Chains A and B, each alone.
Chain A
């Protein structure tokens, strides 16, 4: 079954450092997302991306965050200068176009990766 893969699985960084989290979405998917989950809290939407541009972003996604699809397969989340409160699990997700996909996919179903745990010291 196709899956979304994320690297690294865990990254520890010093406050103020730049971090890049990488995601390889499912190959025929065109919509991409980043969510985060601070320990013990709910999964929060960060940003959605379609057709090489951001389609929507939350108030969490400030100027310290950026996303990029540098080639045909990777989808990255960059945090320019990490803060302690950026420590969280970051999930990448993707979905395909409306009307496509099987019973387990389909227009409104996001397929999530296993997540990248970011620890900022």
Chain B
């Protein structure tokens, strides 16, 4: 069975500071991993995905994530936070079966 754990339900960073959102996964098979973002009153938008090609994955809006098998992690980073990055971020995993399993989400707050 697959699962993801997101550390921290709320993260606050100052504008211009590094963003780090943590995600650890559990999977019995090589996983497909995703980060989705949900802006207020909107649906889930794909930020980036890992599908066993490169371990460092670049996504939209300057975000990237690194797959580390030894740590079973897929943390999301962005070098410099922008006010528009304020949103809820979901890490997700897909294994051999058809469904994607989401983490509980991390709400990112950007401080001016």
Contact = CB atoms under 8 A, between A and B. Distances in A.
Interface of A: 4, 6, 31, 33, 35, 41-45, 48, 50, 55-56, 58, 91, 93, 104, 106, 108-115
Contacts of A42: 90, 102-105
Given A108-B32, A108-B51, A109-B49, A45 B43 contact: no
Contacts of A6: 43
A33 B42 contact: no
B103 A112 contact: no
Contact of B44 (A44, A55, A91): A91
A45 B101 contact: yes
A91 B102 contact: no
B71 interface: no
A56 B101 CA distance: 13
B104 A41 contact: yes
A110 B46 CA distance: 8
20 contacts: A4-B43, A6-B43, A33-B99, A41-B104, A42-B105, A43-B44, A45-B99, A45-B100, A45-B101, A50-B98, A55-B98, A104-B46, A106-B51, A108-B49, A108-B94, A111-B46, A112-B36, A112-B43, A112-B44, A115-B42
A44 B102 contact: yes
Contacts of B103: 42
Given A4-B43, A109-B49, 13 more contacts: A43-B44, A43-B90, A45-B100, A48-B98, A55-B98, A106-B49, A108-B94, A109-B34, A112-B43, A113-B43, A114-B41, A114-B43, A115-B42
A91 B98 contact: no
Contacts of B101: 45
